[in-house]
Structure 1
């Protein structure tokens, strides 16, 4: 069979192959095209990581080690993203005992930074809809994930009580996004759930702040550059001793204020790191091009 006959017999396969061959060209020549290709491959990587995570998280379920191996699996599957995360104060997360870790939530690529600083014996709290993702949901169960129905107040409160009980029984930490959803700029007002857990259990809150992704990534403007630079700052534990549930709103506002100040500071630093990294990359590219031309 000639290639002409093959095209006639399999037009859809032919169109698919032609489009596939165009991807490298689009990736190199179109900023928006690169964004869609890169973010699609990222989601595919996370989805693919879900299935081996089922195997890696089985031992951690019985050892009460939380999502440590799930995030190590995610880290392996997303190494190609070329995002460098500088972690400051990681040792504070490795403390013994129970703590509530709160961090800002910018994008689905938060998982890259989380994977690089995820502590042992730590579980994650996430929205209820994520437990229907095949592979990922089973790994989440083995990681002792706490699912919350954000649209049902009674069920959300039950989940918070369950989280506090599970942490106490298994001596676990819990990682929560207090904004409740992604914030494109800065930080949204914090919800009280994470702080209710901490106050109920009488345990400290440890804030983790990730710098802005704007220098290399933006969902709104559709760009996803290489050599992404992120700074993750782990702050000192904030005690909840002597506080009651009525103090949760004030505690949430206080923690947000501290985190927002750090966010603005490290975002400036990360942007400067991004500029320096980009300059070095362009310089190396130019030198490589000159060497090729000389040959």
Structure 2
């Protein structure tokens, strides 16, 4: 969606890294309906102390079945939309739009299959032309981002995404953006091209500013790529704060827990007056916003 991780049933548990931030005008919030709450069937709530994966073979079996159903369902929708993209080859913007619709349908379907109760706040900020950023601690984050980012949003992935079965093809067909992260000079030039494409086509971006998935659930330091993109596009930054996903699906586990998940859009941070000599300050400013809005269990360790 620089960026680039669904701890991959697809390959090496790295599906979500597609959206990670690897490097490097203001929009007033439009009045929209108040924050919506999407509630799935009520299930038991677990605390941070609910720590072990060994909750019985039956629970693990159900989780494994859900993961398999997610994988098969995702392959099915990916194949359908890949065919749609092929038909739309002459119309790049329509392919971006269809890629977003694919994400909305597939992401919502996968979250329904997993069955976690979900609370969404700040939805009035969810349809800005902006740079959307999100903390990242679970494969579930990818499903949520696919579902909840607005139509007209593109991601930035490493160029190797093309080699991922089926999804890589769909990513390219959807006209999302790729960069060469192994070559810093080429990556910087790619970022400039990304910024030009975003402004020219009036698009939004989605980025994980930590640059990788947090294995512990604690917020990691932010990379600078999203700030450079903000400077070049003057798009506002809309933080998306995800809470509880690291407990719902832990690193290295096949156990999907019924942990409630919270998705909170924060008010846009205007960037039209930002200057290139204060990049570090802006990175810290946005990072501090996350520290303030995350629960203690997900803040950076002291």
d(CA) in 2 for partners of 1:91, 1:255: 20
2:123 aligned to which of 61, 66, 90: 90
1:29 aligned to which of 57, 76, 94: 57
Relative to the length of structure 1, the TM-score reads 0.71
Q: Which runs of 5+ in 2 are unaligned?
A: 1-54
Q: In the TM superposition, what whole-angstrom CA distance separates every residue of 1:219-272 from its partner, at most 9, and x where no partner exists?
A: 2465322x342111101111112222232222112101111221217979xxxx
1:139 aligned to which of 148, 153, 170: 170
* Residue correspondence of structure 1 range 265-280 to structure 2 within 5 A: none
Cross-structure match for 1:193: 225
Does residue 207 in structure 1 map to residue 275 in structure 2? Answer: no
Does residue 173 in structure 1 map to residue 200 in structure 2? Answer: no
Aligned residues: 239
2:160 aligned to which of 129, 133, 142: 129
Residue 206 of structure 1 deviates from its aligned partner by 0.9
* Residue correspondence of structure 1 range 92-107 to structure 2 within 5 A: 92-95=125-128, 98-107=129-138
Does residue 47 in structure 1 map to residue 75 in structure 2? Answer: yes
Q: Which has the higher contact order (CA 8 A, sep 6+)?
A: 2
Judging changes above 3 Å, is the alpha-carbon distance between structure 1 residues 248 and 44 closer, same or farther for their aligned structure 2 residues? farther
User: Superposition RMSD on alpha carbons, in Å?
Assistant: 2.8
Higher helix content, 1 or 2: 1
Relative to the length of structure 2, the TM-score reads 0.69
Judging changes above 3 Å, is the alpha-carbon distance between structure 1 residues 233 and 266 closer, same or farther for their aligned structure 2 residues? farther
Q: Which runs of 5+ in 1 are unaligned?
A: 1-26, 269-295
Q: In the TM superposition, what whole-angstrom CA distance separates every residue of 1:18-74 from its partner, at most 9, and x where no partner exists?
A: xxxxxxxxx972555555554454344433432122245565844353732120232
8 Å Cα contact 2:231-2:274 kept in structure 1:
yes
d(CA) in 2 for partners of 1:244, 1:111: 31
8 Å Cα contact 1:212-1:263 kept in structure 2:
no
